[in-house]
Structure 1
Amino acid sequence: MGHITKPPPPPAVFRIVDLFAGPGGLDVAADVLGHQVTGIEWDENACATREAAGMDTFWGDVRAYRAAFFPRAQVLTGGPPCQTFTVAGHGAGRRALDQVVEYIDRLHDAVRAEDGDWKKIFRTWRAISEELRRKAVLAEEVKKEKREVETRRAVTRKALVRSLGKLGTSDAEIKKILKSPRGPRDLDLEDETLKGLIVEFDAQGAELHALKQQLEELGDERTGLVLTPLWWVIERSRRPGSDAYEAVVLEQVQAVMPVWEKYAEVLTTLGYRTRTQLMLTEAFGVPQTRKRAVLMARLGETDVAEVPETHERYRSRSVPSDSSGVDRADALLWDLSEQSTDRSPKAAWVSMETALKKARDLDPELPDRPAFTVVSNYGTGGDPGARGRRDHDVPSATITGKVSRNRLVHKGTDTDLPRFDRFALAEAGVLQSFPVAYPWRGGDRSQQVGNAVPPRLALHVLRQVLEPGLGREQALARTEQAVSDLENWRPPSAPVKARTHRGLPGHPLTGR
């Protein structure tokens, strides 16, 4: 009698609640893996896409919901807004990070206090929330005052331009005068009216500068949103009668990594094994270069292993010596010191050409272009005129909300393609690793694509965290099947209407 190999048992199905869920990048990955996911999203456009994609959704600000509303959720995922952290090398971004770290330390102190009293922990959170609320209210008042000053200064500026023009000052000289750090203060003029305009313009500029400084000190209200997932984990872990999440997965831009590392300290105190990992999307089969900071945690004694890279990292073919090189964006993209610890054989990274050809096989109506170069809407190296460029046979540069503005030209030229000189929305989604059939709806669709979690990256992370017991061959087979299912995914025949608070009773995660 021949040897019969028993197939591995089907993986456990987890119930996931996804904060800041966006159009569904993580959700569609969880779906093809067989998990049940419910997202919370405030943007109505993203909710429209989620509805068409059949994603279970609660609409609204995540701060209007609580972990206690979803007691049957076993896994928490999310990607809080990152705009205030993308300038981490500058003053405002650095202050935003420092402020969040300070709040996390306060929560951590409350959590690890000897008595572990829930009421004291909750009071700490309420105090932080109230502090953030007051700052947000004051910031709105300052913004209103700033808009009023900007309006007055625009009027003064027009009057000043007219007066200088009457004196025979050229347009170029006027522009230089107004752009100068000292403005028009250095002008030696006898006209009292013009002098008055100059004084007024100068004073308004100083007032605007002071208001901008004040806004930076107050911070952005979105800064506080990055604390929300941590509070949900604390609430489920420390609130009497609650069960802790079995796993936590959070992702954001690279600048948020110090926040995730602080999160990990708190989660360790709460009984989790954690890992943070800087992930390069093209190293996981996404046809795009992008860096993401990921926090992974499992409750109990199960270690969280590094997510192994399946594809080679992308390196620029050439590193130009001058700042105007067409591929300089590539040269600046990755530090050569970043090395993967995984030495197993890897597939080549996926190019735009390969991804879009596979998409055309599934949707023949997509355009079939000749060899092309993508000219970015963004400048590189601080030079707005030095547009980043990528040829069709390499991965795309990072897909942003401005993807629809990128030009497609004949490869190696500046000649626009006569047809299809912009990516179709479905193509932009494919470069973000969404299925070609993903049903983008609502407004700001390019922004939805750019803000989304790359589903293929999410698939790798979720499989690693939620199925840690699989052997290497089983994990590889499981991942390959899930990738195929993701590429061939189709939306349901009928949309799923997004819920509000009224939809909580009777929902599978509420236990009501």
Structure 2
Amino acid sequence: MTPFSAASDIAHAQIVDLFAGPGGLDVAAHWLGIPVVGIEWDREACMTRRRAGLETCEGDVRTFSPADFPDATMLAGGPPCQTFTVAGTGAGRVALDAVLKLVEAMAQGDDVSSRIAEFDDERTGLVLEPLRWALQAHKAGASYEAIILEQVPAVLPVWEAMARVLRGIGYSVVTGVLRTEEFGVPQTRRRAILIARHNSSVVLPISTHRPYRKGANRESGASDRKPWNTMAGALEETRGYEFSVVSNYGSGGDPKARGRRNCNEPAFTVTGKISRNRVFDANGVEVERFTSAEAGRLQTFPLNFPWRGSDIAQQIGNAIPPRLGAHILAAAFGISDLLDEQFFVQVIDSGWSRAPEISDLVGVP
């Protein structure tokens, strides 16, 4: 499917996706007809990617450079968020000042590898990898036409610091925090975004759906925005009955403050522990918890996406929702107006049909 083949920027675009995970952004790129190769070091995620037929380079992003992907015109990256997220240990948030200083040092051309190695958690330094790639490509005279980055909201100051550096080498850059339910994802989740275009203007994607408010009527709100999408709508094929969900984690970090949402609301943020969320029918009887396919669908992967590996829930929780990814990619290319609800109904509900190469399936269960 190449719905945007008439758009010149899309027609020759190729993406290299750092920290590609199971393929959230890659699925979005496939929907838009953009070739993409993903770099991923987690073997389990690579098993899923290969089964899905996504071009995959298994390995550590730090051992590669732009020279290894000379045909890529676009750089994307969603570095590991565990050290920055509220649900994690917070090592990245503690090290935020050090990370910001390293951004400044990299802008001056300093080799900061030894300073990155000093972080207690090596994953903290990975957030700097996209900037390394962007600067190396620019130095080689092959600047990426577009760059998109996403992470948890705590990383927004890093994206803003990187934006200042990128503007100094010819990019127009926007940053901000997007709410996934405002882009049709049946789940509340906030992501810090950076979108950059070389020698071209760029804007953040404009929300298409109303924000979720606890206790609010989904039909109320701005008339130019659609109602938020619901768990019931997303899981109509698998859950043809009323249900509610009790979250595994507590609001505000309080484990006792476990929230509850009914099926006519968006899901809680899908994390690697979504399998622990309890599900109840309309009579209060506990029923089967979300399957991997259902958890993936709440992230807007097709229901039949071929998840593989031993820790599928973590793969799903770590992924960027493909629907949000599509909006971000479209914004980078200035084609947001082409993404309507019917487009997403077509690409999500029609299922995943990308056939893998036989050679990719060798040794994959």
- Indicate the residue corresponding to 1:144 in structure 2: none
In terms of fraction of residues, the more helix-rich structure is 1
Q: Which amino acid aligns with 1:276?
A: T
**Per-residue deviation at 1:384?**
1.8
SS in 2 for 1:85: coil
Q: Per-residue CA shift, 1:261-312, capped at 9, x if unaligned?
A: 0010010001000001211000000000000000000000x21122111111
Q: What does 1:470-489 align with in structure 2 at a 5 Å threshold?
A: 470=335, 472=337, 475-476=338-339, 480-481=342-343, 484-489=346-351
Q: Per-residue CA shift, 1:127-176, capped at 9, x if unaligned?
A: x112333x2xxxxxxxxxxxxxxxxxxxxxxxxxxxxxxxxxxxxxxxxx
SS in 1 for 2:202: coil
In 2: Cα distance, 1:460 partner to 1:85 partner: 24
User: Is structure 2 residue 110 aligned with structure 1 residue 99?
Assistant: no
User: Is structure 2 residue 323 aligned with structure 1 residue 456?
Assistant: yes
Q: Structure 2 regions of 5+ residues with no counterpart?
A: none
- Indicate the residue corresponding to 1:19 in structure 2: 18
User: Is structure 2 residue 200 aligned with structure 1 residue 307?
Assistant: no
Residue 245 to residue 402, structure 1, CA distance change in 2 (3 Å)? same
Q: Which amino acid aligns with 1:10?
A: A
**Per-residue deviation at 1:412?**
7.4
- Indicate the residue corresponding to 1:440 in structure 2: 307
Does the CA-based 8 Å contact 1:16-1:36 persist in structure 2? yes
**Per-residue deviation at 1:448?**
0.6
- Indicate the residue corresponding to 2:261 in structure 1: 390
In 1: Cα distance, 2:230 partner to 2:260 partner: 14
In 1: Cα distance, 2:5 partner to 2:293 partner: 36
Does the CA-based 8 Å contact 2:296-2:316 persist in structure 1? yes
Residue of 138, 143, 151 corresponding to 1:237: 138
Q: Per-residue CA shift, 1:90-132, capped at 9, x if unaligned?
A: 9844332111101001112x1xxxxxxxxxx3xx22xx11233
SS in 1 for 2:313: helix
Moved over 3 A (4+): 87-94, 491-499
Q: Which amino acid aligns with 1:15?
A: Q
The count of corresponding residues between Structure 1 and Structure 2 is: 352
**Which stretch of the first structure deviates more once superposed, 55-64 or 370-379?**
370-379
- Indicate the residue corresponding to 1:425 in structure 2: 292
**Per-residue deviation at 1:433?**
0.7
User: Is structure 2 residue 168 aligned with structure 1 residue 269?
Assistant: yes
In 2: Cα distance, 1:496 partner to 1:46 partner: 18
Residue 398 to residue 9, structure 1, CA distance change in 2 (3 Å)? closer
Q: State the structure with more CA Rg.
A: 1
Does the CA-based 8 Å contact 1:82-1:253 persist in structure 2? yes
What TM-score, normalized by structure 2, do the two folds share?
0.90
Does the CA-based 8 Å contact 1:58-1:498 persist in structure 2? no
Does the CA-based 8 Å contact 2:204-2:328 persist in structure 1? no
Q: Which amino acid aligns with 1:232?
A: W
Residue 43 to residue 352, structure 1, CA distance change in 2 (3 Å)? same
In 2: Cα distance, 1:312 partner to 1:382 partner: 26
- Indicate the residue corresponding to 2:178 in structure 1: 279
- Indicate the residue corresponding to 2:286 in structure 1: 416
- Indicate the residue corresponding to 1:157 in structure 2: none
**Per-residue deviation at 1:244?**
0.6
SS in 2 for 1:450: helix
Q: Which amino acid aligns with 2:227?
A: A
Q: Which amino acid aligns with 1:28?
A: V
User: Is structure 2 residue 113 aligned with structure 1 residue 129?
Assistant: yes
**Per-residue deviation at 1:495?**
4.5
Relative CO higher for 1 or 2, CA cutoff 8 Å, sep ≥ 6? 1
In 2: Cα distance, 1:445 partner to 1:260 partner: 29
- Indicate the residue corresponding to 2:77 in structure 1: 78
Residue 373 to residue 449, structure 1, CA distance change in 2 (3 Å)? same
User: Is structure 2 residue 32 aligned with structure 1 residue 30?
Assistant: no
Over the aligned positions, Cα root-mean-square deviation in angstroms equals 2.5
**Per-residue deviation at 1:387?**
1.7
Q: Which amino acid aligns with 2:286?
A: D
Q: Per-residue CA shift, 1:185-232, capped at 9, x if unaligned?
A: xxxxxxxxxxxxxxxxxxxxxxxxxxxxxxxxx431111111110010
Q: Which amino acid aligns with 1:380?
A: S
Q: Which amino acid aligns with 1:230?
A: L
In 1: Cα distance, 2:283 partner to 2:253 partner: 23
What TM-score, normalized by structure 1, do the two folds share?
0.65
